[in-house]
């Protein structure tokens, strides 16, 4: 028969081991905290090269939340200053994991990623300015600055390099529609670009949506319904496309069919006064007076939040 030590003997036997482990853990935690505190002091006195390795190594393991946040924030600042991307990303992950809604963390995250973006853009412009990605980035920058002709030139160069490069015909169409002093036939040219885009990328919901808007402006509601419907099929979360579809159906006096897409528009864009107005109109025209009154009230509230009065009450 096997013999067993009494339970009390087993407990006494294991106690020193457990106590030793606990003491070791406390010592390790103290050393980690001490190292982090020293690194924070170094960082905040301008000694980032010495501080950053310690902050990167210890930040995710610090038990003291206040010290952890301070260490990670200092680490991000040091990594940005030293232009060290890997520790920067590691420390940002620590901050956003442990302090996901902290305003200071969110503010620093915005600036850190903005710096990373700027550096990558600068490197791209220096190392490969005539590559397709380089031209695309330059075109986007010119478009944002309102340098329409330069942006168009860049987009045309991309198509010279690769006539079937996705997204470029769509951007050209958007550019043509955004110019402050467009050519007389700018809408026709934009339509051609969008149709070419759909030949290259039939899944481009944005192209279908803009074609729907152009059709609606041209009083071709049936064509608008077709394009808006396709846009919602390609992207079920495309609130503007549902709104466009609903408004096109209202134009056709197809009030019953307009209800469903307008309900989707309101669900996806609850702060959009136009969506509430369209749905209120559809409800009113289908005899749902209480629902219409509710949506009209929501439309007025949304318009007030945006600083406008909004459209009149639907009839």
| Average confidence (pLDDT) over 244-248 | 98
| Predicted local confidence at residue 14, as pLDDT | 36
Could you tell me the two tokens for 247?
């408004």
Structural contact between residues 152 and 175, judged by C-beta atoms closer than 8 angstroms: yes
Q: Map residue 103 onto helix, strand or coil.
A: helix
Residue 20 has pLDDT above 50, yes or no: no
CA distances from residue 93 to 43, 48, 102, 131, 157 in whole angstroms, order as listed: 19, 19, 13, 32, 39
Structure confidence at residue 199 as a pLDDT band (50, 70, 90): very high
106-141, pLDDT tens digit by residue?
A: 999 999 999 888 888 889 989 999 999 999 999 999
Of the listed ranges 29-43, 141-155, 207-221, 227-241, the least confidently predicted one is 29-43
Mean pLDDT, rounded, for 145-169: 94
Is-contact 264 240, C-beta < 8 A?
Answer: no
- Contacts (Cβ under 8 Å, ≥6 apart) of 227: 208, 209, 211, 212, 215
Q: How many Å apart are CA 31 and CA 29, to the nearest integer?
A: 5
Neighbours of 223 (CB within 10 A): 16
pLDDT at 301 over 50: yes
Over pLDDT 70: what percentage of the chain? 87
Residue with tokens 């942006």: 151
Range name among 3-7, 11-15, 149-153 with the lowest pLDDT average: 11-15
- Mean pLDDT of all residues in the chain? 87
> For 64, which DSSP code?
-
Q: What is the pLDDT of residue 26?
A: 40
Spatial contact of 63 and 29, defined as CB atoms under 8 Å apart: yes
pLDDT in tens, 25-56: 343 444 457 888 999 999 999 999 999 999 99
- Going by pLDDT thresholds of 50, 70 and 90, the confidence category of residue 12 is very low
Give the confidence band of 311 by pLDDT, cuts at 50, 70, 90.
Answer: low
């Amino acid at each position: 028969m096997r013999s067993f030590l009494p339970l009390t003997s087993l407990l006494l036997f294991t106690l020193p081991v457990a106590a030793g482990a606990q003491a070791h853990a406390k010592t390790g935690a103290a050393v980690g905290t001490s190292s982090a505190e020293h690194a924070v002091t170094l960082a905040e006195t301008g000694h980032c090269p010495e501080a950053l390795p310690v902050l990167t190594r210890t930040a995710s393991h610090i038990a003291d939340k206040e010290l952890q946040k301070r260490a990670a924030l200092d680490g991000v600042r040091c990594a940005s200053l030293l232009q060290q991307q890997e520790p920067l990303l590691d420390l940002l992950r620590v901050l956003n994991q442990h302090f996901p809604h902290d305003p200071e963390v969110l503010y620093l995250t915005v600036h850190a990623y903005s710096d990373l973006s700027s550096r990558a853009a600068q490197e791209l412009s220096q190392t490969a300015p005539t590559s397709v990605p380089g031209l695309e980035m330059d075109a986007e920058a010119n478009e944002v600055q309102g340098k329409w002709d330069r942006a168009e030139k860049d987009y045309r160069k991309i198509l010279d390099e690769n006539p079937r490069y996705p997204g470029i015909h769509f951007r050209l169409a958007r550019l043509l529609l955004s110019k402050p002093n467009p050519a007389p036939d700018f809408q026709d040219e934009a339509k051609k670009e969008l149709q070419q885009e759909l030949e290259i990328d039939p899944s481009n919901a944005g192209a279908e949506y803009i074609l729907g808007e152009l059709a609606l402006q041209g009083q071709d509601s049936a064509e608008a319904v077709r394009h808006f419907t396709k846009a919602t099929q390609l992207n079920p979360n495309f609130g503007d496309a549902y709104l466009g579809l609903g408004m096109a159906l209202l134009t056709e006096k197809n009030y019953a069919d307009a209800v469903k897409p307008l309900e989707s528009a309101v669900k996806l864009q609850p702060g959009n006064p136009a969506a509430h107005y369209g749905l209120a109109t559809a409800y009113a025209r289908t005899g749902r007076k209480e629902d219409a009154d509710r949506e009209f009230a929501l439309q007025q509230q949304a318009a007030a939040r945006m600083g406008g009065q909004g459209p009149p009450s639907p009839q």
